[in-house]
Structure formats: C-alpha cells, structure tokens
Amino acid sequence: MKKSSIFGIITIAVAIAIIICTYGSASTYGTFKDADNNNGELHIIGHIDKEKGMVYDATKDANYFSFYMRDTIGNERKVVYTGTKPEDFDRTDKIVLVGQMNKGEFHASHILMKCPSKYKQDKLDVNADTKKASI
C-alpha cells in the first residue's frame, strides 16, 4: 500500500473515534420527568421556588445545599447539591442543573446560572419636561 492510503485510513479512523467520543459525552436537556426515567446525567432548565426556602449552613456542612426547583413544564423537585452555595444564587432568575435523580431528589453535580443584573445595561431616565432650545 502507498503511504498516502495508510495516512488516509488512519485519518478516517481518528475522525470516527472523535465523533463517537463527542456523541457519547454530549449531554441532553430534559425535565424532571425525563430524569425519573433516565439513569444518566441530564441538564434541566428551571426556576427556583424561593417560597419553599433553601437549606445551607456552612457551619454544619459547607458541602450541602438544597432547594426546590420547578422545571420548564411545571414539575417541582427537591434539588441537592454537594458543594457550597453559589454566589448570588438568591438573585438569579433561571438556572440549569446538571445531574441525575436519586430516590426522588435531583442530585446536581453542577449549577449553571445567569444573573440578569450583570447583563442589563443601565437605563437613563429621561424627563419628558425637557425644553428644546429654539433658534
């Protein structure tokens, strides 16, 4: 065989291996209902239920944080995160959890959040009573 044929076969094999690895590690988005039926890791988008409260006490256990979240279709579950409470967590609107269900609770390995105050531009209030100079 020619060297170019061997190089081409090796290149194709490497490309196929990369595609398989990427496909296998690609995460999927879903709801809590999907997480109930799935044993793998799942991304869930939702809103925090601030009325039910959050449990985090750094003096007792700094690596335990729990709260309730409602997903995009309205299902609510208790979320347990084994890590410290993220900074500005109380001010966020929407979060994405990465994790899996365990005995009716969603155990998150990562919490991704976007704080809307960081992305809103400051708005300048303009008075309607301003007078225009006439020439």
CA gap 80, 19 in Å, rounded? 33
CA gap 76, 70 in Å, rounded? 4
In terms of DSSP bridges, do strands 94-102 and 105-114 run parallel, antiparallel, or are they unpaired?
antiparallel
Predicted confidence band at 23 (pLDDT cuts at 50, 70, 90)?
low
**Average pLDDT of span 73-96:** 87
CB neighbours of 53 closer than 8 A, spacing ≥ 6? 67, 68
Whole-number pLDDT of residue 124:
47
Residue 98 has pLDDT above 50, yes or no: yes
Burial of 42 (0-12, 13-18, 19+ CB in 10 A): buried
CB neighbours of 48 closer than 8 A, spacing ≥ 6? 54, 67, 68, 69, 89, 92, 95
Give the pLDDT confidence of 118-133 residue by residue, as tens digits.
555 554 444 444 444 4
**Average pLDDT of span 78-91:** 86
